[in-house]
Chain A
């Protein structure tokens, strides 16, 4: 049997890889993909906890399902925003939307 901490290590590493992408990427769609990686790592955590620590309940599984749903809604809205921004600025670089700061 694989120790639980090894499974949690995979999800931790996945989270920080996503965070590396979030720090280094300047392209909005790439940033969005990094966020997807981070959401996935959280899902792995919930599923592992539910299956191995609290098998009698299903709460972690429902959290995972709801996170997947919200991620889908988030990506849809974010891509609509990115395409709209691309129309007005002809760029998907995060620096192109600098005027949002002021």
Chain B
């Protein structure tokens, strides 16, 4: 029974991913991606890695997808179709993908992994203790590095998205339009 569930989850992930990269409208593409990420989370649940599954749902489904959907709405594209790639490009990429997939799959199936007999301890306690451990095998330094990275990303986002107060020297009409919109956006 567990095997059947695994294959159903796998087919779900791959089917949703294929729909996500081939959908015509970008908003639908984002929704298919959302389902694919939920499928990955359910795969983690199937493997009894509950902590990772929770992190996957919180960060990916709750954070990243929402951010992507915001970006789609901010760039006003939800109503129109994306330009389809040319047939030549489609065929060439599909060939390259199939070649790479066949090569990697043959390598994976040849290798013959032997599972370890020890059961995996899924206690969250263990994860927390090792993550903040400064001793041997502890992950305290990468943890601090990643927190610095998040801070840097936050500051970087604010700096990039901040509107320049100096007049833009570009002569494009589009940039002057956005400058005129500025006070309205600030009010709302």
Interface residues of A (CB under 8 A from B): 1-10, 12-14, 16-21, 23-27, 29-30, 32-34, 36-37, 40, 43-44, 47-48, 50-58, 61-62, 64-66, 68-77, 79-84, 86-90, 92-93
Report which of B67, B104, B137, B170 forms a contact with A76, defined as CB distance below 8 A. Answer: B67
| Known contacts A4-B113, A5-B109, A12-B105; A68 and B43 CB within 8 A of each other | no
When the two chains form their complex, are residues A47 and B116 in contact, meaning their CB atoms are under 8 A apart? no
Complex Cα gap A44–B64 (Å): 18
Judging by beta carbons under 8 Å apart, are B170 and A88 in contact? yes
Q: Which of B149, B154, B161 has the most CB of A within 10 A?
A: B161
Given A53-B113, A90-B174, 13 new contacts (CB under 8 A): A13-B14, A20-B94, A24-B21, A24-B89, A33-B30, A37-B20, A51-B49, A68-B60, A69-B59, A69-B149, A79-B68, A82-B75, A84-B161
CB of A77 to closest CB in B, whole Å? 5
Nearest opposing residue in chain A for B100, CB measure: A16
**Whole-angstrom distance from the CB of B26 to the nearest CB of chain A?**
6
Asked whether, in the complex, the Cβ of A84 is within 8 Å of the Cβ of B14, the reply is no
**What residues of A have a CB within 8 angstroms of the CB of B36 in the complex?**
14, 37, 40
Known interface pairs A2-B3, A29-B68, A29-B75; A61-B52 also in contact (CB < 8 Å): yes
